[in-house]
Amino acid sequence: MTIAAIIVAAGRGSRAGGAEPKQWQELAGRPVLRRTLDAFAGIGRRVLVLHPDDMARGIAEFGGEAVLVAGGATRTASVRAALELLEGSDVTRVLIHDGARPLASPALIARVLAALAHAPGAAPALPVTDALWTGAAGRVTGTRERDGLFRAQTPQGFDLAAILAAHRSGPAEAADDVAIARAAGLDVAIVEGEEENIKITYPGDFARARAILDSRRGAPKMDVRLGNGFDVHAFREGDHVTLCGVKLPHGRALLGHSDADVGMHALTDAIYGALAEGDIGRHFPPSDPEWKGAASAIFLGHAAGLAAARGYAIANVDVTLICERPKVGPHAAAMVAELARILGIAPDRVSVKATTSERLGFTGREEGIAAIATATLVA
């Protein structure tokens, strides 16, 4: 399972005041949109939908961190543009989020993702607790029952294929993506929202958001987890090895039930270890023929998705390959790029390096390759 976060920020937000759209205005020293994007740092892929006039600025601010898409004339058109971009990729589930909601927590994101295991759609909401009136000309004209009413929030999560089909067959404009999903007959689960997950709409909302950030700084809740992984594979007959997702020509191949990518296996175990989730064998038993010859990217993607579902961002990973040959240095940059792609993090958060064992031991005798890895997760 690969998850993508679509952050919609193509509007002009004139009700918020200011000299520029609200998503670009400063909130406690950083642009609102920067804070929103960072809230989804642990998600495998991020897609940022911007107004066509903001694309150059977006490339300068966020290039390399997110895929940028030019939005349409309406929010619905903007979301559909991002969904169309993801069609045909390895993404199976999407989170669609307002760019003006910079305070979504990892726990909230995790609740939405968890609900998608049981429904094609899920969205956070808060029950309405205040009395509801109707009014006209400054006078109360009636009341409404509040039972069963909710205040909708984002991120709203969906099966990618289902929500794309709903957009293609649905109305040209709707209040949100839940409305489009329901028009297509999709079941949408409600998960608990958060009062702090406010949407910046009016000038006073910036002060509310700053107060929430100040409160969070006063009572930090950061959870840092560290995991280590180690793996070994022996050589067999063959003409190449796959290390950290990159195929290297070599006089021998590595022996294993899957593709025997020793570097990716060690890194996968490091992430599982940080989550106290055992190792690859627990999640993908070598006794299961389904995984014979499988690409190790499947295992690493699963570990990254599990971390995201638990509300953790991958802060950095470090892999060391131990072998005499093949030479890793010329391929290290490609390995970094591939691991970053699978994990959905910036390449500068990924380290791949190699060392020899000075001709000592089984790696020194060129009987196989070993790897150690470390992963840091933050929530």
Domain edges within the chain? 2-218, 224-378
CA dihedral 37, 38, 43, 49 (to 10 degrees): 10
Indicate if the pLDDT at residue 42 is higher than 90: no
In the chain, alpha helices (H): 32-39, 55-62, 75-86, 106-115, 160-169, 177-183, 204-218, 262-274, 280-283, 296-309, 332-343, 361-364
Q: What is the CATH number of domain 224-378?
A: 3.30.1330.50
Residue 66 is given by DSSP the state B
CA dihedral 234, 235, 237, 238 (to 10 degrees): 120
Would you state the structure tokens that stand for residue 300, as one six-digit string? 């690493």
Same fold, 2-218 and 224-378: no
d(Cα 270, Cα 279) in Å, to the nearest integer? 8
194: left (phi over 0), alpha (psi -120 to 50) or beta: beta
- pLDDT bin (cut points 50, 70, 90) of residue 221 is low
- pLDDT bin (cut points 50, 70, 90) of residue 11 is very high
CB-based contact 19:13 (threshold 8 Å)? no
- pLDDT bin (cut points 50, 70, 90) of residue 184 is very high
Indicate if the pLDDT at residue 223 is higher than 70: yes
d(Cα 251, Cα 182) in Å, to the nearest integer? 57
Question: What's the pLDDT tens digit per position in 293-342?
Answer: 788 999 999 999 999 888 888 999 999 999 989 999 899 999 999 999 99
Poorest-pLDDT segment among 58-62, 216-220, 237-241, 268-272:
216-220
Indicate if the pLDDT at residue 87 is higher than 60: yes
- Tokens 């050589």 correspond to 235
- Quick one: angle between helices 160-169 and 75-86, nearest 10? 130
Mean of per-residue pLDDT scores for the chain: 92
Alpha carbon distances (Å) from 255 to 169, 236, 240, 327, 361 = 49, 6, 11, 19, 18
pLDDT of residue 220: 52
User: In this structure, which topology does domain 2-218 adopt according to CATH?
Assistant: Spore Coat Polysaccharide Biosynthesis Protein SpsA; Chain A (3.90.550)
Contact residues for 156 (Cβ-Cβ < 8 A; gap 6+): 95, 96, 97, 112, 121, 122, 123, 124, 176, 177, 178, 188
Q: Looking at residues 29-43, what average pLDDT do you find?
A: 93
Q: Looking at residues 79-101, what average pLDDT do you find?
A: 96
